[in-house]
Structure 1
Amino acid sequence: MDESADTGTTARPRRAEAIFAATLELLATAGYEGLTMEAVALRAGVNKTTLYRWWKSKDEVLAAALTESDLLTFPVPDTGSLRGDLIETARSIHCLLTDAATAPIAAAVLAASPGRPSLAAVGRMFFADRAAREHPLFRRAVVRGELDDRTDPRLVMDMLAGAIWFRVFLRAEPVEAADIDKAVDIVLNGIAA
């Protein structure tokens, strides 16, 4: 039986979304230590050989799940302004970090990363993928004359997303819409009067 499906970009197993969902659910419920290829195969309803045909390790399947799963994606906004695009992007990040379906995944990655170089590499891959998806909003801002082309999009997103991650996971405080608007304004305008 052919286990592949053509998605138009890269070949994936036919049950890729089920595999990705199983991987992320296990990460959220059992933690990184409880995430095994056997458990993913069982939960996804596929043969373990199918997993090993596509990925060599749990880190590889986790990297694929984090970057390719529909669960963790959101559309890159095009509101017509850099400020509007950053606000919408920051709101989407906040939603991922607080939604019942995705918050445990983010918390598990954050908790498991220290001292695990392979998981840290997966995290870097995830954030590099997100940065690549967000770059169009910065390119449009340069074209519109809202942003200098020397601006580092990664640093901008680190400041915005970092503020949200810090408030949600380290302070365990709510993030209101007005907080996001203020954070975007500080990033765009600075803090000096």
Structure 2
Amino acid sequence: MKRIHVALLCVLLASTAFAGFDLGIKLGANYNYIDQETFEYQPYFDQFADLGSINSYVGGIFTGFGIGFFSLHLEAMMSMQGFDLQELVDGEDFFEVVKRTQFRTDYLNAALMARFHLDLQVIKPYIAAGINVGMPIDWANPENIQIDFSNFTPDRLGLAFSVGIKIFDLIDADLRYVHGITDILTGDISFTDHTFGQLVRLSVGLYIF
């Protein structure tokens, strides 16, 4: 993970060396959920029957540069991500059921995206793909709940895919899906099985120059 962080920082520094790079701010909303295909094999949350989704806001800056129909974009976005503890498994005391309790983590999400767009006069629709690195800044557990988090890791690495449109070279609307490839319980990187954090984001960007 540290090597990926350094690589993204190098790309950011390299992008600023170009005279004609774009710079802007971006605001949006996240829909964050957990993909738990092998949930029954995860020992750390076996007292809970389900991990629910949460919604949150996101904001940050972006820069980009390119030639013709191709461009590279780098984003630094602050967002809150996590999950809900919905209920205890069958057999637990009804009065001890935990509902709507959130585990929240503040992230600095760095994303490097390759865009392919139609270079039209007014609007420029595009598709994009890249990598998203979620670097945790702070995270909190629910109060009065005893859970072993010794093997829980908040680091998140994901593959990002998006579609969007750029209007008048001034406004950028983007719908993105980030497919997590880091197991949130072990930190292992994998493309199959395990328990991943997934993200759907809708954002609007404003170009400063």
User: TM-score higher than 0.5 here?
Assistant: no
TM-score (norm 2): 0.24
TM-score (norm 1): 0.26
| Higher-strand-fraction structure | 2
